Chain A
Amino acid sequence: MSDNLKQSMSLAKPDAQDLSVKQKTALAIGFTGCFILVLALFNTHFSNKSLFLTLSMVLITVGTIIFSNDAYLNISKGIKNDGVWFKSISSRGVLGWLTGIFLTLFYIVLYFYPKYLGLASDGKSNTGLIALFDPLSQLLSGRPASQWFVYGTLYTVAILIFGYKFILKYRDNKYEKLRTVSVMFFQLAFAFLIPELMYRLNSDLPYYDLKSIWPLNYYNFDRYRVDQFIDAGDVGLALLIFGIVSILIITPILTYKYGKRWYCSWVCGCGALAETVGDPFRHLSDKRQIAWKIERWVVHSVLVFVVLMTTAVVYSYLGNDSSKYWLTRKLFLGLVTALLTVVFTLTMIFKRQELGKDARYSAIGYFVVIIFLIGLHYFSTDTKLFLFKSETLRTTYAFLIGAIFSGVIGTGFYPIFGSRVWCRFGCPMAAILGFQQRLFSKFRITTNGGQCISCGNCSTYCEMGIDVRAYAQKGENIVRSSCVGCGICSAVCPRGVLKLENGSMKGRINPTEILLGNDVNLMDLVNQK
């Protein structure tokens, strides 16, 4: 086959993929809205900021709505992936790369050079893009906007408008519709409105997106936050306790019942962006086995890193004297060690078989952490942990993982690596939930007997890069730690083979060699070996 064919399997660009006049108009409207933001960025003076901010957001929204309506409502319900691999934007073409570069630059400016967005310094007032958002910020929380407010607003608007598009695209699929309404709601209410309103009610409280759980919000137990929580009185203390309960009690229960999807594709803000804005890029994830191997190493390393970092940070501000404060350094290290040991022991006792080779790696991980904790106890002074400051560990994590990985690479590279790079390779929360999903959860994707035709739509459209087909064509349930339960594999399957289900733990993992439909004796003979 010629290279040309390999590129897109199309010699001439298929006409069907061209945009309609209405869609072009919609794009023009949307980009006009974006252009207002660009003008603001270059310090164009708007006499009425509220008006222009509203105008910008309305134009972007209306443009997206018109575009989506024209793209999906005029045609029958069903799977809408025609031409996905022919379009420049969604097949790593020129538009894809340009978008990727633009997003990456945006993230770099946002994280490291917010002054170029117009962030005020030394008590002056904001300028540029950030100043445009001042009226909205004043309205919600009564303070001027920051780069994070601007980002949060754009992030929320993006999820809402592309969520609308996603709902139209999958309007025959109630699971997808409900899930999308859920992420839209949690983003708007929990990530955007509630924290701003909370600030209005009690300005002592730190910004707290209640659905963002440690270790995803790795900073939750930093000294300044814990201080703020405690200083804010009962409400603050309740929030601090909620933060601990979220990861230790709420998360395990929900993950046991529903799999990690309850969080990753129904609640989480990162997931929300990936599922809505990122949907046109979901098929770009790497499906090779090597990618899976890298994924497991990287994501679990991040998890170990965040556990150590958080422990060290908390350790560094605790005291040694139990009369002042009941949680001392010693007690804290003891509690962390005990928790990790309980988890490790229970896993080894009950799930040793399922872990197989991975048991060795998890044992190594466990002992690295424990040795670190012991080292912390013996080799740290009041100001230093080992030889460096705990703050160094904290800032390194914030820079490498918090900014570069989750932002610049995670989202900036959507059009190149697909929409879930961060969730798959970097998110420590996903690693914890995934560990539990693999071993202690009722969730699985069921394969429908022998009906698979190995077409590969499921694997292609898996944003987590899971080779779904490899399981489906063996008649085996899909039980993978990385699965976020988005349900798209099931939606795109042309033969009705896949179903996301919560069921009994027994028989959840069911490797088969001979599929249903063949000689019963042969199936028994081979499959029971």
Chain B
Amino acid sequence: MEHVVIIGNGISGVTATRHIRKLSNKKITIISAESDYFFSRTALMYVYMGHMKFEHTKPYEDWFWEKNRINLKKGFVKNIETATKTLHFSDGETLEYDKLIIATGSKPNTFGWKGQDLKGVQGLYSKQDLENLEVYAPNNTICKRAVIVGGGLIGIELAEMLNSRNIPVTFLVRESSFWNSVLPDGESQMINKHIKTHHIDLRLSSNLKEIVSDEHGKVKSVIIEQTDEEIACDFVGLAAGVSPNIDFIKQSDIEANKGVLVNRFLETNIPDVYAIGDCAEQREVICNRKSIEAVWYTGRMMGEVVAQTICGQKMPYNPGHWFNSAKFFDIEYQTYGWVHGSKGKPNDEAHFHWKHNDDTKCITIAFNKNTNQFLGINTFGIRMRHEVFDRWLTEKRTIDYVINHLQEANFNPEFYKHYEQDIQNAYKNQLQII
């Protein structure tokens, strides 16, 4: 019986596993050094905030794996010997595979800051990070102030988490406005305000210079590069993005750049070795997408695809229209298609922006200036239907069509106030001004 081994029990590896089991009778082993069972990484924040217990983050009950004949192995793979198809573990054990899927995810970025390895300095990615957070920032007596470095999705989640335990937070953001490398200016500014209403000390255009140690090797303060200001703190959250977690691969024959290099079939340079999820780097650019996509949804999609290939139905990874979501404190964000921030915006992309005056709801619709074709939407504080926008993108609808049919896409709970009329009026007025 063919033995498929998956390194990593995150969403990518587990999705691949489930589909392989559905499609075949192969022997399957999932290896993880992080946790005994698959859990949802995205929910770690809710454990710290007391919304859930760790148990609740597991999407499948513990009996699920045995029932579906999926072996779970706890261990850290140190090296992959591709010639003999053998995995070497850090404790000296070995395991042979017929097909190997590398799905080891990401690790938080560090940029060689002085003091980045001190106690109380960490990212928020793994279960161990959560446990460390409980050690260094359990409450505002032990942690009198926390500093977060990096204005992205993990940074703002960390801010929300620490805030839930009344720990004062200073939030260092390199950009001139929160996440404006991705968000258009209007939205980014709305989120700036929202962060401040939660009493976060938001410092825009601020870089970390160094992290200062106390006499016990624990963080004492940080120094800001622009102003040389020293901020006393007991915890530093590093949230300046993530990169592929593939150090263990460096000694093997598997070709890697930042991530494990794969072709459209998610195959590496070595036969029978595949890479999916955050740790995979596409050799070939797919549409507007980055070559490394550290996103839950794309990891899941790669898992769905690679399972088909491994079970004899060879398939290229061919993602559909881009979508993503996040939540910034109380404001939910969804995006469908492409809406660029001011930096990477192509010349023929124009935006229609509507914002409610309570500063918790806004949308931005991107369209082609010349053809009026609808390119994408960012929506804040109003839930919208994935299916409807996916269809409109495929059908290449115009922005006028989208504006006029916006109600079809509304996904807010029943009885919520509707804003379609407001949005339509704003659209008409904006056109008149132009």
Contact = CB atoms under 8 A, between A and B. Distances in A.
Contact of B334 (A5, A15, A495): A495
Interface string B45-65: 011111111101111010000
A94 interface: no
A287 B53 CA distance: 13
Contacts of A10: 50, 134, 138
Interface stretch (A118-126, A172-180, A243-251, A353-361): A172-180
24 contacts: A1-B54, A9-B47, A9-B54, A10-B134, A11-B134, A11-B135, A16-B140, A16-B165, A449-B390, A450-B300, A453-B42, A454-B11, A456-B46, A470-B59, A495-B332, A499-B411, A500-B413, A513-B19, A516-B320, A516-B390, A518-B318, A519-B315, A519-B319, A522-B315
Query: Could you say which interface size class chain A belongs to?
Result: 35 or more
A487 interface: yes
B159 to A, nearest CB: 14
A276 interface: no
A174 B415 contact: yes
Contacts of B332: 494-496
Nearest to B334: A496
B252 to A, nearest CB: 29
B304 A460 contact: no
Looking at A178, A459, A460, A520, the one whose CB has the most chain B CB atoms below 10 A away is A460
- Most chain A beta carbons < 10 A, residue from B51, B164, B315, B327: B51
A526 B164 CA distance: 43
A173 to B, nearest CB: 7
Nearest to B127: A1
A497 to B, nearest CB: 8
Interface string A468-483: 0110010000000000
Contacts of A317: none
A62 interface: no
Interface string B120-146: 000000000011001100111110000
Interface of B: 11, 19, 22, 40, 42-43, 46-54, 56-59, 61, 130-131, 134-135, 138-142, 164-166, 197-198, 296-297, 300-301, 304-305, 308, 315-321, 323, 325-327, 329-330, 332, 334, 383-387, 390, 411-417
A173 B415 CA distance: 9
Nearest to B19: A513
Q: Which 4 A-B pairs have the closest CB atoms?
A: A449-B386, A78-B330, A496-B383, A455-B43
A11 B138 contact: yes
A79 B331 CA distance: 10
Contacts of A450: 297, 300, 323, 386
Given A499-B411, A513-B304, 20 more contacts: A10-B134, A14-B50, A15-B166, A16-B140, A79-B330, A83-B49, A172-B330, A175-B413, A448-B386, A449-B386, A450-B300, A450-B323, A454-B59, A496-B411, A499-B413, A501-B414, A516-B390, A517-B301, A518-B304, A519-B319
Contact of B164 (A83, A87, A456, A520): A83
Given A15-B165, A178-B415, A520 B51 contact: no
A175 B414 contact: yes
Contacts of B11: 454
Nearest to B23: A526
A22 interface: no
Contacts of B415: 174-175, 178
Nearest to A455: B43
Contact of A517 (B40, B59, B319): B319
B296 to A, nearest CB: 5
Nearest to A176: B413
A12 B138 contact: yes
Interface in A1-24: 1, 5-6, 8-17
Contact of B139 (A16, A78, A446): A16
A5 B164 contact: no
Contact of A519 (B318, B326, B329, B413): B318
A7 to B, nearest CB: 9
Contacts of B300: 450, 515
Q: A15, A173, A451, A492 — which one has the most chain B CB atoms within 10 A of its CB?
A: A451
Contacts of B52: 85, 456-457, 460
A514 interface: yes
A473 B114 CA distance: 41
A48 interface: no
B327 A494 contact: yes
A289 interface: yes
Interface string A243-272: 000000000000000000000000000000
Contacts of A496: 325, 332, 334, 383-384, 411
Contacts of A82: 49-51, 164
Contact of A449 (B134, B305, B387): B387
B173 to A, nearest CB: 21
Contact of A457 (B51, B58, B305): B51
Nearest to A85: B50
Nearest to B35: A1
A491 B414 CA distance: 11
Residue picked from B40, B50, B53, B139, most chain A C-beta under 10 Å: B50
Contacts of B319: 517-519
A289 B42 CA distance: 23
A342 interface: no
A14 B413 contact: no
A522 B308 contact: yes
Interface string A493-529: 0111001110000000000011111111110001000
Contact of A451 (B48, B130, B325, B414): B325
B385 A449 contact: yes
B385 A448 contact: yes
A174 B330 CA distance: 16
A455 to B, nearest CB: 4
Contacts of A17: 50
Contacts of B61: 288-289
Contacts of B334: 451, 495-496
A15 B140 contact: yes
Interface in A81-127: 81-87
Contact of B330 (A1, A76, A487): A76
Contacts of A56: none
A147 interface: no
Contacts of A454: 11, 40, 42-43, 59
A495 B327 contact: yes
Contact of B51 (A81, A449, A513): A81
A324 to B, nearest CB: 52
B287 to A, nearest CB: 13
A466 B159 CA distance: 31
A75 to B, nearest CB: 9
B389 to A, nearest CB: 9
A1 B326 CA distance: 29
A12 B142 CA distance: 9
B413 A487 contact: yes
Contact of A9 (B59, B134, B413): B134
A99 to B, nearest CB: 19
Contact of A6 (B54, B164, B321, B390): B54
Contact of B304 (A81, A86, A494, A522): A522
Nearest to B379: A496
Given A10-B138, A451-B325, A454-B42, A459 B56 contact: yes
A14 B304 contact: no
A77 interface: yes
Nearest to A13: B139
A82 B52 CA distance: 9
A12 B134 CA distance: 8
